[in-house]
Structure 1
């Protein structure tokens, strides 16, 4: 079992976040399940965790709203007594109904706001994990499909902004890790991209050799909560061979 007690996983009512949250709960952490609008889905994840003897609470919070991040921090402290782990999984930007600059507001500004809210409450020795994609992590060296470019640019901006916190995190002995994956089979982003650019998933599968499922990638994210790595480490899930090769050219 983990020495950590309380965790927040943003965007955890479905997909990668939900898998990550359940994996952490299985390791003995109490987990704040974060959702933006759909409480029943989040409550189902809480029930699944509790059915296995774990601890979780569902909290509705829009991370782009001023009060959103603090609500999650308060929930972790009130329910589990401590906040040790922050998994920054929530992302988006391909939605057409969320207003101007939504990708940047969610993928950069909200990530920073969440970390700023969490940091004063986080325990020494804790960990922050930022979940991203190879398409975003390598966007400065390797171009991506046009439909995803804005999201990729905003996620890379978020990663860069979070990395600037590493010295401040080090003062509390809090470790910062980035987990990057390729397109993930079955995610909303992959589905939307394939709809906008038919064949995109097949092309990425061929280039990568394998695309991870939601369950497989969520398990990898959870592993990096406990992995013995240096702060600032980037875990390239699946190896990212073709991205590394293009980045070197």
Structure 2
């Protein structure tokens, strides 16, 4: 069993749950974070343990400084270290046009997106720096580069996250720490994907060269690559997972 410890935020369902399971299958000890989904988070941890892995469920709001501190301290207190951060937790956002978008709505989404990324990164870096090892993986979206009607709040906030990660990657690289972005297209069985009507999901699948939407497991395998040693010389990258729908 690997000694590596990975914290996955928003891991009670969708991409986060699939990532927790995938990393556990690869030998990581996994912290399953949730904000208010204890039952489903425990089910994910149960899947990990059934498969022979180790999992710890920790509740916490990643936009709350005290919760983030407790989340990291609980992880380190339980396993003695934290090697990998997968920041997947999604803050709510309005689906609306720019014409109908209030500054309060856009500002709130920007604040929540960057606040969570800042707090988590700031909390995990000291330990990673001390050990000269760390993997930071952030979930973004192809909408940060290719706009779609109604998705301005999400796309703009994730574009800000993409830039944040590049700056972090530059600063932490000398300490043996990588920071990368995984940017899926619409993913089935996720909070964002479930907001879309069936007709639109079918249209998006038909417009994808590989003929379907992404699945949580597709994204999880890409996240696992960046969490591992094979990606040790890759940092500041933006990795699309979209079946060819967007080729930057």
Partner of 2:155: 152
Summarize the Cα distance change of 1:22–1:243 in structure 2 as closer, same or farther, 3 Å threshold.
same
User: Is the aligned partner of 1:230 residue 2:230?
Assistant: no
Over 3 Å off, 4+ runs: 99-102, 238-244
Contact 2:165 2:181 in 1 (8 A): no
Post-superposition offset of 1:213: 1.4
CA distance in 2, matches of 1:242, 1:47: 36
User: Is the aligned partner of 1:161 residue 2:183?
Assistant: no
Post-superposition offset of 1:241: 4.8
SS of the residue corresponding to residue 7 of structure 2 reads strand
Summarize the Cα distance change of 1:77–1:182 in structure 2 as closer, same or farther, 3 Å threshold.
same
Q: Give the one of 102, 109, 113 matched to 1:107.
A: 113
CA distance in 2, matches of 1:238, 1:189: 15
Contact 2:13 2:190 in 1 (8 A): no
SS of the residue corresponding to residue 10 of structure 2 reads coil
Contact 1:182 1:240 in 2 (8 A): no
SS of the residue corresponding to residue 62 of structure 2 reads coil
How does the TM-score come out when normalised to structure 2? 0.85
Unaligned residue ranges in structure 1 (runs of 5+): 245-249
Contact 2:165 2:180 in 1 (8 A): no
How does the TM-score come out when normalised to structure 1? 0.85
Note the alpha carbon deviations across 1:43-67, whole angstroms, 9 max, x for none: 1111111122211111110011121
Q: How does 1:133-152 map to 2 (within 5 A)?
A: 133-136=141-144, 138=145, 142-146=146-150, 148-152=151-155
Summarize the Cα distance change of 1:213–1:10 in structure 2 as closer, same or farther, 3 Å threshold.
same
Contact 1:32 1:72 in 2 (8 A): no
Q: How does 1:45-56 map to 2 (within 5 A)?
A: 45-56=44-55
Partner of 1:247: none
Post-superposition offset of 1:102: 3.6
CA distance in 2, matches of 1:240, 1:121: 37
CA distance in 1, matches of 2:203, 2:169: 36
Contact 1:64 1:110 in 2 (8 A): yes
Contact 1:130 1:177 in 2 (8 A): yes
- How many pairs are equivalent? 233
User: Is the aligned partner of 1:212 residue 2:214?
Assistant: yes
Post-superposition offset of 1:242: 4.0
